[in-house]
Structure 1
Amino acid sequence: MQTLALVSITLCLAVNVWAQKPRHCRSPPLVVGSLTVSAREGEFFAEAKYTYDALQKRVRFREFGCNNSQSFHTDKLILFRKRVMYDISYHDHSCKRIPLRVHFHPMEVPREAKLLSEVVLGSSSAPGQGLLVNIWVGNVSETGGKYFSTFTEFGCLPVSSIYYSNSTGWVMTSFFNNMNGIGNPEDFIPPDFCMRKENEETEWGTERDFFEALF
């Protein structure tokens, strides 16, 4: 009898979990992982390793890719609290210090986003064969852009994002190999040669959004 009662309670809890409507969520504050970005109808493609710190509002990207048939490699350190982005090159020990005119946007489901659907990537026929995710849609009022973002139901980790604005066109991002925590805090310390006065760049045009900062 006790076994039957336990099974009944377990089933009720399971039904309640699956019946809950997906909620807006925020990713863990410290994450490392990889991503790919494709834009401009395939003319721009990049793969990057990133380190993300929402507590101190800073991100490090190390990416390589192809832009208009030209290969490139970049290393960007973005410190939102200090309102500066470092474009770093260890090859020739050069560094551009670029004033940052954009605000930090945490990896999260924005409050104004609307749930499009909840789906399983892969298969739900057996444990471990699928991943439950939520697809959200919304608009970015600051840039006039719009997005479709996919986050895991458990853990609130980003899976993919499709973004569009008149200035960037369609930007497709896929995330993979995400892990909680930061392995190397020195990722957020600019190298010594970035502190040289000749490496400072004082102009950066008009305000841009986060995706334009990457480009």
Structure 2
Amino acid sequence: MRLSVVLACLLAACMAEKPRPCNLNKLALFLQSTQNEKLWVFAKFLYDAMGQRVRLMEMGNYQNKSFTYDALLLFREGAMYEINEKAHTCKKSPLKAAFHPMEIPKNASLLGQAVVGSSSRPGEGLLVNTWTGDLPGNTGKYITTFTEFGCIPVSTAYQTKDFGWMLTSFFNNVIGIPDPNRLNPPDYCPTEMSGEQPGDFASLFFNLH
């Protein structure tokens, strides 16, 4: 369904820096909302860069209706599992999408470096870099912020046709995944695909319940 946040940093110096990939397996929480105020989402996010696996466990509100959603995306397998752990039900659908690493794109332009919080005393602030660029297919712009040390995502904003700017804020990032089994389909999931048309990553976030 979607991701969200509020960017908090603006331009400063450090234009000599180059974007660096940062493929880290991680557990994180994120909050997402849209410019037109139709949608907000709070989710737990499991991300396996090497295995190209993502799991989203969400709760949110779309057009004043609340929802929950649990999806496991296996990009190498080309499959998406929609999971209901309480009811022990699961649907397997084809996934038509390329895996996009959670990293600073190599063609991103550095806007600047800033401190979120305060630099007056140690521990009062977080040093971050903010980058911008064009979305694939020149469908809009994005702005993304990563920490200077550790290359951890802090926030992202990107343009969409249906919702305007999508704002996503990441927090409580944990490097490594405490329970890797959460990135495998449960035993009660089917092995056969449903007869649905393949979905892409965007359809997962915009085909709302």
Could you state the TM-score of these two structures normalised by the residue count of structure 1? 0.82
- Report the CA distance between 1:86 and its aligned residue: 0.7
- Report the CA distance between 1:97 and its aligned residue: 1.3
Output the CA distance in 1 between the equivalents of 2:65 and 2:202: 20
Partner of 2:205: 214
Output the CA distance in 1 between the equivalents of 2:58 and 2:143: 23
Question: Any unmatched runs of 5+ in structure 1?
Answer: 1-17
Residue 153, structure 1, aligned to residue 144, structure 2 = no
Give per-residue Cα distances to partners, 1:184-203, cap 9 Å, x unaligned: 01011111221165xx4332
Partner of 2:20: 25
Partner of 1:55: 50
For residue 137 of structure 2, give the secondary structure of its aligned residue in structure 1: coil
For residue 33 of structure 2, give the secondary structure of its aligned residue in structure 1: strand
Residue 112, structure 1, aligned to residue 112, structure 2 = no
Partner of 1:138: 133
Note closer, same or farther for the CA distance 1:40–1:119 as it changes in structure 2 (3 Å cut): closer
CA contact (8 A) 1:28 1:180 kept: no
The one of 181, 195, 201 equivalent to 1:186 is 181
Output the CA distance in 2 between the equivalents of 1:97 and 1:129: 46
Partner of 1:8: none
Partner of 2:7: none
- Report the CA distance between 1:40 and its aligned residue: 5.4
Partner of 1:164: 159
Higher relative contact order (CA 8 A, sep 6+): 2
For residue 106 of structure 1, give the secondary structure of its aligned residue in structure 2: coil
Greater C-alpha radius of gyration? 1
Output the CA distance in 1 between the equivalents of 2:17 and 2:128: 9
The one of 31, 49, 73 equivalent to 1:78 is 73
Output the CA distance in 2 between the equivalents of 1:166 and 1:33: 27
Output the CA distance in 1 between the equivalents of 2:140 and 2:204: 15
Could you state the TM-score of these two structures normalised by the residue count of structure 2? 0.85
- Count of aligned residue pairs for this structure pair: 194
CA contact (8 A) 1:39 1:172 kept: yes
Output the CA distance in 2 between the equivalents of 1:77 and 1:204: 17
Output the CA distance in 2 between the equivalents of 1:160 and 1:140: 16
Note closer, same or farther for the CA distance 1:40–1:192 as it changes in structure 2 (3 Å cut): farther
- Structure (1 or 2) with the greater helix fraction: 1
- Report the CA distance between 1:211 and its aligned residue: 4.4
Residue 34, structure 1, aligned to residue 25, structure 2 = no
Output the CA distance in 1 between the equivalents of 2:64 and 2:145: 29
Output the CA distance in 2 between the equivalents of 1:53 and 1:196: 22
Residue identity matched to 2:204: A
Residue 202, structure 1, aligned to residue 201, structure 2 = no
- Report the CA distance between 1:156 and its aligned residue: 0.5
How high is the sequence identity, in percent, across the aligned residues?
42
For residue 186 of structure 1, give the secondary structure of its aligned residue in structure 2: helix
Residue identity matched to 1:214: F
Hey, which bits of structure 1, 4+ residues long, moved more than 4 A?
none
